[in-house]
Structure 1
Amino acid sequence: MERLQKVIARAGIASRRKAEELILQGRVKVNGRVVTELGAKVGPRDDVEVDGIPVEREEPVYYLLYKPRGVISSVKDDKGRKVVTDFFKDLDKRIYPIGRLDYDTSGLLLLTNDGDFAHSLMHPRYEIEKVYVAKVKGIPTGEQLRQLERGVKLEDGMTAPAKVKLLSTDRRKNTAIVEIRIHEGRNRQVRRMFAAIGCDVLKLKRERYGFLDLKGLRPGEYRELTPHEVKLLRAIALSGGRK
């Protein structure tokens, strides 16, 4: 038996908090009867409806994808461009990405059909550390790198402190390779942070997400997360993303 709001969230209909609101508003039925109690639990044979629409109760799945450049972090694109779910053609479950990577950014991306799990990882309070490697135009000075570490002012506010490491430089081409670790997940954040210090990003890759990495995968390949990895991700999110 599981709490009703968890079942709704896992189906990807809404976050658990939003699911609780739907229940309190009388928009959820179990076996044809309206349920407005947040403590209500349902079993696998119970029929659940939200606004008259049956809830599809699939087994939760969790995947790690090495997203290539030139792919949209979405389940569909109105311009007909390739999307991340195109790599899962043989999967009979409806999955979606947790967060996003820009069209021109490659690297580690998680996908699931567990809405509650996705919400816990994306919640602003529980952002998990993400490690990016950027090739930038220009060679940032020590002071510029310290600016990134302290936080830079963007149009949507100051960024949180970051961890930054200069990996290599090419003075002939006037480029540098920089590793940056952040906990936030704003739109195009890493690119905007480097632009703020005068170094445009030429190439960007997400190398790590928490303790997960891309070892053994090529662009476009994916693997299923182990139950232990899923359990650890939940624990890290609930601890504030600092493990």
Structure 2
Amino acid sequence: MPVTCKNCDADRCQAPVTQTKGDGLKLRLQKYLAMAGVASRRASEELIKRGKVTVNGQIVTVLGTKVDPQKDKVYVDKKPVHVREKFLYLLLYKPSSFITSVKDPQNRPTIMELIPEIRERVFPVGRLDLDTEGLLLLTNDGKLAYRLTHPKYKVNKRYLVETKGVPSFSKLKQLEEGVPLEDGMTYPAEVKLLKASRNKNRAVLEIEIHEGRKRQVKRMFNHIGFPVTKLKRTHLSFLNLEGLKKGQYRNLTDDEIQKLKEKVELGSEM
């Protein structure tokens, strides 16, 4: 079903775009040229009619020819044409029972089903397990995503943790000092005991870590002998879930994007 692109000026580009299953977003050629700043849509149509445009080495003169910006090589007068990718930054409240993946070979629900109207390719920054809920950032900004997950930048992540059993303060001290896991010692964590019920044999805690290893929080609590029964990420750096219900998402504001970049030493890049 045709949809309208959001990446260009309304008075210049209103040609429909389509997306076929398994392919990237395909644009009408004249729309692609307009988005790249070559000319207005109508002027781009004239360039196509005059045989000035090639796609993958072939001259194209048919208006409405569709191109995939990720795959096809477009030239005008033998000069390459590129559309600068528009970065998206989405903050999602992931429910449990959704896979943190773009696709799942077992056909289980993925986080992409929670953002069906987003046509741009985005990917999760880090992972939350199937049974874990909470804050998940999605973006197509690879440089920012890499730095947010790199241990060098020590981006803090905060979780609410429910455990089987009530850890003693000496056990929690181990988490605060770092514990040995199979992939090395963890960085010191900040831990608070929020609730404890020895009758129900459970505790609720808050833990803040500064790295993002696979299943790290669960492994840390397993190490001290108190398995996690429920896990929710509440914060990524200064970002939180305020105003969102499970399954909802929002775009980051320009100020939030800038602040995140400053956190990982990309402050001048906007």
TM-score (norm 1): 0.76
Q: Structure 1: which 5+ runs fail to align?
A: 1-42
Match of 2:181 in 1: 154
User: Equivalents in 2 of 1:114, 1:57: separation in Å?
Assistant: 12
RMSD of aligned Cα (Å): 2.3
User: Equivalents in 2 of 1:57, 1:194: separation in Å?
Assistant: 44
Question: 1:23-172 residue pairs with structure 2 within 5 A?
Answer: 44-45=36-37, 54=73, 57-172=84-199
User: Equivalents in 2 of 1:101, 1:210: separation in Å?
Assistant: 16
State the one-letter code of the partner of 1:94. R
Match of 1:196 in 2: 223
SS of equivalent residue, structure 2 residue 250: strand
Q: Structure 2: which 5+ runs fail to align?
A: 1-34, 39-53, 57-69, 74-81
Match of 2:246 in 1: 219
User: Equivalents in 2 of 1:157, 1:53: separation in Å?
Assistant: 44
User: Equivalents in 2 of 1:120, 1:198: separation in Å?
Assistant: 32
State the one-letter code of the partner of 1:126. Y
Change (3 A) 1:140 1:107: same
1:136 Cα deviation from its structure 2 partner:
0.1
Bigger relative contact order (CA 8 A; separation at least 6): 1
State the one-letter code of the partner of 2:176. E
Match of 2:265 in 1: 238
SS of equivalent residue, structure 1 residue 139: coil
Which one has the largest radius of gyration? 2
User: Equivalents in 2 of 1:90, 1:105: separation in Å?
Assistant: 24
1:170 Cα deviation from its structure 2 partner:
1.1
- Contact in 2 for aligned 1:66/1:217 (Cα 8 Å): yes
User: Equivalents in 1 of 2:170, 2:236: separation in Å?
Assistant: 27
1:58 Cα deviation from its structure 2 partner:
2.8
1:45 Cα deviation from its structure 2 partner:
4.5
SS of equivalent residue, structure 2 residue 105: coil
1:120 Cα deviation from its structure 2 partner:
2.1
- Contact in 2 for aligned 1:58/1:93 (Cα 8 Å): no
User: Equivalents in 2 of 1:96, 1:149: separation in Å?
Assistant: 31
- Contact in 1 for aligned 2:151/2:210 (Cα 8 Å): no
- Contact in 1 for aligned 2:36/2:83 (Cα 8 Å): no
Identity rate of aligned residues, in percent? 49
User: Equivalents in 1 of 2:239, 2:115: separation in Å?
Assistant: 20
Could you list the structure 1 runs, at least 4 aligned residues long, displaced by more than 4 angstroms after superposition.
Answer: 43-47, 51-56
